[in-house]
Amino acid sequence: MPIVKSFACSVVVGESTERDILAKLMQDASASHLPIPPEAADNPNDANEADVAGRTNGADHAQQGTAGHQTVSIEGAQGVQLPEEYVPATNKRNLMEKHANAYTYEWDGLGDSDDGRPVGKRQLPPFERKSHPSPACAHKIRKKWSEIEEKTLLEGVEKYGKGNWKDIKMAYPDVFQERSTIDLKDKFRNMERYHESA
């Protein structure tokens, strides 16, 4: 059977990617006979996209705020109900059961208040189901790369050369404050892969 592998988790903030197809698959499953999973049944959804670079530059930050996606765990969407008990980790879940039902606590404004992730515990009644924080995985929340970020990245690569992500990041702290060198590298690679040849 065509098992959907993917990365097993991804909390999109302002864009849907892998979960999109997963959601479709889920719908297909639900359309057959399975009911809608609780994860996608309800979702207050805040969809707040903080202007990554608009805080300092204020150049252009009007291409965001188009969120409104359901946070659904593919693993649990298939029918494998995840337990309500999650083990709050310290900070990192290196060798933790990331593949299992492991759950790490969200870094609420510790090192990154990107879009002001509303992980704060609201006075949600016991009836409500906090389906927002992905149950199966709690990474760092995918941040929507703005045009300025991509442009700045290209600029840095053009200026400092590809591979010197550290220098690039230091060159534009305002833009890449919430981006790590790994992110820069990854983003650049993705861009190259996308273009393929242009």
Residues that bind DNA (CB under 7 A): 7, 10, 92-95, 98, 139-143, 162-167, 179-183, 185-186, 189-190
CB 136 within 8 A of CB 78: no
The sign of the CA dihedral 85, 87, 91, 96 is negative
Smallest gap from Cβ 143 to DNA, in A, equals: 5
CB-nearer residue toward DNA: 2 or 126: 2
Please report how close the Cβ of residue 127 comes to DNA at its closest, in angstroms: 31
12 SS3 class: strand
Check if the beta carbon of residue 76 is closer than 8 Å to that of residue 37. Answer: yes
Considering the complex, state which of residue 7 and residue 24 has its C-beta at the smaller distance from DNA. 7
Least distance in angstroms from the C-beta of 162 to DNA: 6
Q: Which is nearer to DNA, 129 or 142 (CB)?
A: 142
Q: How far is the CB of 1 from DNA (least distance, A)?
A: 19
> 29 or 102, CB closer to DNA?
102
HSE-CB for 32 with a 13 A CA cutoff: 8
Q: Which of 24, 139, 39 is nearest to 79 (CA)?
A: 39
